Amino acid sequence: MKKYITEFIGTFFLVLTIGCTVIPGNAGVIPPIAIGAALMVMIFAGGHVSGGHYNPAVTLAVFIRGRCEAKDVVPYWIAQVAAGIVAAVVAVWMVGKSGTPMEIHNVPAAFVAEFLFTFALAYVVVNTATAKGTANNSFYGLAIGMTVMTGAFAVGGLSGGAFNPAVAVGIAVMKLVAFSQIWLHLVADLAGGLAAGLVFKFINSEDK
């Protein structure tokens, strides 16, 4: 239970940060930096308890890689998505309004963007937070947070920059993206996590 509560807390503050920086329309550099920093500190805070996934795609990658038990996958996903929904409601209440859905005009490009940067995120997670070669390091939270920040800067304007199915649900609740288009985040992000787990296993076949 402690692991699931930790996953809820970390995901909650990640999505809350997104809502409280994106809905008011803060200057372009503020949301990506704040979001990357929020993820970083929550990973450092809860990584020793739950692994600090805060993302169903990351949980999938870590499961495929062999460092998340099958019995934890669905409860992690439930905790993460529930946190995204609750955080979205709280953010809208705090800000006093919901957002304006972005229009994703180039769906194939947005899909590829979500896939590639979710792959990058999950690949960084499994290599910095689960690999034997980087065991007991002190930089994993920074590496993971900065990967999200990089993705938000690079393709946030193209796809919404979710890289996380729980975030996708949260930003849809906040009306930052349309519910009719979050399928591309859900499918692309889980596919990116799956690919990252498989690539890690191929490259690091001796790392069980």
Share of the chain above pLDDT 70, in %: 100
* Residue 134 in domain: yes
pLDDT range class, residue 65, cuts 50, 70, 90: very high
* Residue 112 in domain: yes
Q: Round the average pLDDT of the chain to a whole number and report it.
A: 95
Q: How many domains does the chain have?
A: 1
Find all residues with CB under 8 Å of 141, minimum gap 6, and list them.
40, 41, 43, 44, 47, 52
Cβ atoms 54, 84 nearer than 8 A: no
Provide the pLDDT for residue 29.
Answer: 87
pLDDT digits (tens, 9 = 90+) for 71-97: 999 999 999 999 999 999 999 999 999
Q: Give the domain range for residue 172.
A: 2-203
* Residue 73 in domain: yes
* Residue 17 in domain: yes
pLDDT range class, residue 102, cuts 50, 70, 90: very high
What distance in Å separates the CA atoms of residue 9 and residue 161, rounded to the nearest whole number? 21
Cβ atoms 122, 196 nearer than 8 A: yes
Residue 26: HSE in the Cβ half-sphere, 13 Å Cα cutoff: 15
* Residue 208 in domain: no
What distance in Å separates the CA atoms of residue 65 and residue 71, rounded to the nearest whole number? 15
Prediction pTM value: 0.95
pLDDT range class, residue 28, cuts 50, 70, 90: confident
Q: Report the CATH number at residue 184.
A: 1.20.1080.10
Provide the pLDDT for residue 205.
Answer: 84
Cβ atoms 95, 23 nearer than 8 A: yes
User: Average pLDDT of 146-164?
Assistant: 95
* Residue 193 in domain: yes
Find all residues with CB under 8 Å of 145, minimum gap 6, and list them.
36, 37, 38, 39, 40, 41, 43
In angstroms, what CA-CA distances link 39 with 36, 77, 102, 137, 192? 5, 17, 23, 17, 19
